[in-house]
Amino acid sequence: MDNNCRHCRFMSTATTKLKDEQLEVMGSSCAEVHFKPGEIIVKQNALSTNVTYIKSGLVKIHTAGPVKERILKIIKAPRYICLPSNFSEKVNHFSATAIEETSVCFLDLSTFKKFIYENGDFAYQIIIDMSRNELRNFQNCLNNAQKQTTGRIAEAILFFADEIYKSNNFVLPISRQELGDLVGTTRESASRILSDFHNEKIIHLDGKSITILNQKLLNDISEKG
């Protein structure tokens, strides 16, 4: 965001509900930072002092578990992250790391809360955003509990194709290890299932480049787990 957020083409739905004077305050109280792939945007267990808005790019949300790291989700800009930590705790309960070149706006937390108190339309949109995230998290937990690893890998491929790149031909932005961390399996299992899909001509695999060849079968595998 620049000093006048009214001209930002990456404005969130919530921000469109702010008044002109509030947009000026937002512009003067936020800082835009650019991150390269692999750079940490938000660190787990660090103090939560700013609201984080992913302006452009792709980010992974991950947490350090008792045994290994787990990727909770992949987030495509534009979108707020860390809001539950901002409102309920003083520290972040997870980390956010750039997967691609990413621009982030950090907004002063007290200013953000002031907008919520003053502007009901803004607050309502933030609640909608948080509610959608909660439903996604619930669905992810359900999928992880009920689907076999093959189904979860198929679902991940469809997620990148349909929601991230909107194309059946894309370059997987994460490593095999990260894919395993995302779906709750090992790097070896993730690699083996991708190779199986390639050999069965469900996808064409060339390094990290994936082309979906049989969308119907991939959907069936994802849905039936």
Q: Letter for the amino acid at 47?
A: L
For residues 99-118, average pLDDT: 93
107 token code pair? 């907004």
**124/190 same-domain check:** no
Q: Which of 97-111, 120-134, 200-214 has the lowest mean pLDDT?
A: 120-134
4 pLDDT band (50/70/90 cuts)? Answer: low
Residues 176-186 have pLDDT tens digits of 999 999 998 99
Strands 95-98, 79-81: pairing is unpaired
Q: Which residue has the higher pLDDT, 93 or 167?
A: 167
**84/180 same-domain check:** no
**134/194 same-domain check:** no
Q: Is the pTM of this model over 0.75?
A: yes
CATH number assigned to the domain comprising residue 86: 2.60.120.10
First to last CA, the chain: 42
For residues 202-218, average pLDDT: 97
Residues 15-73 have pLDDT tens digits of 999 998 999 889 888 899 999 999 999 999 888 888 999 999 999 999 987 777 889 89
Domain boundary among 144, 173, 200: 144
Q: Which residue has the higher pLDDT, 87 or 151?
A: 151
Single out the residue of 20, 142, 46 nearest to residue 155, CA to CA: 142
**94/134 same-domain check:** yes
Count the neighbouring beta carbons within 10 Å of the beta carbon of residue 88: 9
**71/170 same-domain check:** no
Domain boundary among 144, 169, 193: 144
- Whether 176 and 191 have beta carbons less than 8 Å apart is answered as yes
- For residue 18, the number of C-alpha atoms closer than 13 Å in the C-beta half-sphere is 25
Instruction: Give CA–CA dist 187/206, Å, rounded.
Output: 17
**44/122 same-domain check:** yes
Decide if pLDDT at 99 tops 50. Answer: yes
- Whether 103 and 39 have beta carbons less than 8 Å apart is answered as no
Domain boundary among 99, 125, 144: 144
Domain count, the chain: 2
Helix axis angle for 187-199 and 149-159, nearest 10°, is 70
- Whether 182 and 122 have beta carbons less than 8 Å apart is answered as no
167 pLDDT band (50/70/90 cuts)? Answer: very high
Domain span including residue 84: 5-144
Which pLDDT score, from 0 to 100, does residue 162 have? Answer: 95
Instruction: Give CA–CA dist 222/216, Å, rounded.
Output: 10
Decide if pLDDT at 1 tops 50. Answer: no
